[in-house]
Amino acid sequence: MLQAAREDRRSEPATGDRRQFWRVTRWVLAVLYVAAIVYFVSTEGIPLDRGAITLWIFIGLTIAVLGKGWRAWLWMILDWMPFTLVMFAYDYSYGALGHYAGGVMVEGSHNAVGFPLHIQAPVTFDTWLFGGVLPNAWMQQHFYVAGQSHWYDAAAILVYITHFIATPLIAMILWITNRRRFRQWVAVIVPLAVVGIATYMVYPMAPPWMAYQDGVISEPVHRITGIGWNRLGLGVAERMLHDGQALFNPVAAMPSLHMGFATMVALFFMIGAPWWRRVLLALYPLAMGTVLVYCGEHYVIDLLVGAFYSCVIILVWRLVIRSRRRRETGEESGVEGSSAGDRELAQA
């Protein structure tokens, strides 16, 4: 019997062979996964709903843990559950707050939780800030041509659409490559989503394109976010974007979480980075802000508040890291604690 057991063990594939088999399998499936995403996007457009995005991410993560046992897959579910639940709650509450009595959205009308809608205030602020000129109207007057799309319209939609995929994609990559950084990413993204939805609740505000439709803005400001898809030959993507936008709360302009999340991406990866990388990262929120103003999606004041929220959250997080580091090491020097905290936050 012992001899038979030894022969059985010798007949089993070596552990190294099994690991190599699963490693090759994961790479093959990863290539097929990327190909499937490319095909889907080229034929159906970039998915904007949370369910579709979450499904694609969980398929990718399942491929990443394939062959590592059920425990690895369960840990993946547990790691992602808080992040996923908060983002789903954000999306659903985001839409629910767009309900108004009788479906009428005018200055002073109240949302589902009783707070009045603001339309005139951001117009007044932006016009004052820019010396009597409304940036949205100025940019569309100089760059937008009705019925036409230019190269910068194509660039604009590509920048705009990153809002829907950057946050979960970064989370996915960090979870695969560095779980510690993944938890740090969740720790700054979740508070940003929470304070954003809280502001939408207590201060509902109409975006520029809606203010123009309501006659608050006299110069034309259109919602032109999707026209760049035609330039790229992806008309179906424009229709999907339009349908997706129709599901969202149209008066969730303050703050701009497009700008907030873009700023958070830049700030998060700036920590501990060389100066040239910081410069490149800073271009992302600048590009996003330019696109949002040009396309009539947000006022400048929305961008400033969104960026401010991100700055406050990342600052608080860094202070927490420094404080924890000092407690763990017994350091008294604030400078030393700051450097150690930054190294911990930036560790990859």
Check residues 113 and 12 and name the one with the higher pLDDT: 113
Q: Which amino acid is at 18?
A: R
Q: Point out which residues pair with 252 in neighbouring strands.
A: 205
Q: CA–CA separation, 288 vs 74, rounded Å?
A: 36
Listed residue (129, 299, 87, 136) closest to 205, CA to CA: 299
| Structural domain that includes position 277 | 45-346
**Residue 4 in domain:** no
Check residues 182 and 25 and name the one with the higher pLDDT: 182
pLDDT value of residue 280: 95
Number of structural domains the chain divides into: 1
Judge whether residue 140 has pLDDT over 80: yes
pLDDT value of residue 163: 87
Using a 10 angstrom Cβ sphere, with 0-12 exposed, 13-18 middle and 19 or more buried, the burial of residue 86 is middle
pTM: 0.79
Q: What are phi and psi of 336, to 5 degrees?
A: -65, -40
**Residue 5 in domain:** no
pLDDT value of residue 215: 87
Among 202-211, 282-291, 326-335, the range scoring the smallest mean pLDDT is 326-335
CB-CB neighbours of 58 under 10 Å: 15
Question: For the segment 95-139, what is each residue's pLDDT rounded down to a tens digit?
Answer: 555 555 545 556 656 666 677 888 899 999 999 999 999 999 999
**Residue 35 in domain:** no
The answer to whether 196 and 255 are in contact (CB under 8 A) is: yes
Question: For the segment 31-85, what is each residue's pLDDT rounded down to a tens digit?
Answer: 888 888 788 777 766 666 667 777 888 888 888 877 777 787 787 887 787 777 7
Residues 13-24 have a mean pLDDT of 72
Question: For the segment 243-272, what is each residue's pLDDT rounded down to a tens digit?
Answer: 555 556 677 789 999 999 999 999 999 988
Q: Distance between terminal CA atoms of the chain?
A: 51
**Residue 252 in domain:** yes
**Residue 6 in domain:** no
Question: For the segment 165-174, what is each residue's pLDDT rounded down to a tens digit?
Answer: 888 889 988 9
The answer to whether 293 and 305 are in contact (CB under 8 A) is: no
**Residue 2 in domain:** no
Question: For the segment 167-197, what is each residue's pLDDT rounded down to a tens digit?
Answer: 888 998 898 888 889 989 999 998 998 898 8
Listed residue (37, 73, 27) closest to 175, CA to CA: 73
Q: What are phi and psi of 116, to 5 degrees?
A: -75, 150
Q: CA–CA separation, 218 vs 294, rounded Å?
A: 16
Which two three-digit tokens encode residue 78?
Answer: 């547990």
**Residue 291 in domain:** yes
Angle, helices 151-177/257-270, rounded to nearest 10 degrees: 50
CB-CB neighbours of 120 under 10 Å: 15
The torsion angle over the Cα atoms of residues 129, 131, 137 and 141, rounded to 10 degrees, is -140
Among 24-33, 207-216, 252-261, the range scoring the smallest mean pLDDT is 24-33
Question: For the segment 288-345, what is each residue's pLDDT rounded down to a tens digit?
Answer: 999 999 999 999 999 999 999 999 999 999 898 888 888 777 654 444 444 554 555 5
